[in-house]
Amino acid sequence: MVWRFFMFIESRTNERIKNVIKLRDRSSREENRLFFFEGVHLLEEYLRNGHIPHSIFICKDSINDYTELLSKVDQNKIFTVSSEVFQKISTEKAPQGILTVAFFLNDNVVTLNDDYDYNIITNINDSSIMFLDSIRDNGNIGTIIRTAAALGVTCAISSDCADIYSNKTIRASMGAIFWSRLYITNNLSKVISSVQKSGRRVFASALGKTSLTLGEFEIKKGDCFVVGNEGNGICESVISVCDNIVKIPMTNSTESLNASAAAAILLWQIRTK
């Protein structure tokens, strides 16, 4: 049987297993610069985009299903585990029997510190940029990244949002996070101002007396949108630096949209330009 060629772990108290479980906590992920995700599709996308895993854990009952995929990985990074151990490390209701521990995506996820060269932001040449302000739901963050990538927007800038390295975020992105470029900042207003220096317009998606209605004004190539918190919307300091406020027309029976749904509509408008 193929799995015998890999190190086999059958104890749920094994140190490697304990370390995987610790990665459920954001503080542990940040301390170790590691995160994890489950499933074969995500691993395929991860490898296809040139990333090298820290380690892979496979339930021994599933090993023969993934022999071709595993042939692309350093065999020393692969560990087979008993079904009891895999149940211990998995967070899925219907696990596929394969879990990957990965290094932080330092090449395409960048934290913008105060001393960061904001000229890099000014010179971003993507067709558009999606700004995310205080979106706290991991599923929404991942879905927005996935939708943006599908519609040709592969650059997002976020502030005070849910952890992009949460396995829920990774799963919702369906692997788009592995090739998208993400910037994380604690000063979204400053970043928006830098982007505007390149001639781009930035619109806040919000309700307000001065809101423009989507579909009733011309969207130009390079225009960008800000999507805000699911309950409280975009903070006033961010709205104040935007070129204008845009609202999505809805029937009177609906007050607001889910953040990822609103982002999808805005991204489609960009895509058509």
CA torsion sign, 107 to 78 to 138 to 214?
positive
Q: Is domain 109-271 annotated with CATH 3.90.550.10?
A: no
- Cβ-in-10-Å burial (0-12, 13-18, 19+) of 61 comes to middle
Q: Which residue has the tokens 């490390």?
A: 89
pLDDT (tens digit per residue) in 6-57: 789 999 999 999 999 999 999 999 999 999 999 999 999 999 999 999 999 9
Task: Detail the DSSP E strand segments found in the chain.
Answer: 7-9, 34-38, 55-59, 78-81, 98-103, 109-112, 130-133, 155-159, 181-185, 202-205, 212-213, 224-227, 244-247
Q: Is the pLDDT at 238 greater than 60, yes or no?
A: yes
Q: What is the pTM of this model?
A: 0.89
Which parts of 3-102 fold into alpha helices (H)? 15-22, 26-32, 40-48, 67-70, 83-89
Q: How far apart are CA 40 and CA 72, in angstroms?
A: 13
Burial 184-206 (b: 16+ CB within 10 A, else e): bbebbbbbbbbbbeeebebbbbb
Q: Which residue has the tokens 């060629």?
A: 5
pLDDT (tens digit per residue) in 194-232: 899 888 999 999 877 678 888 888 888 889 999 998 788
Q: How do the domains of the chain map onto residue ranges?
A: 2-103, 109-271
Indicate the fold that domain 2-103 takes in CATH: 60s Ribosomal Protein L30; Chain: A; (3.30.1330)
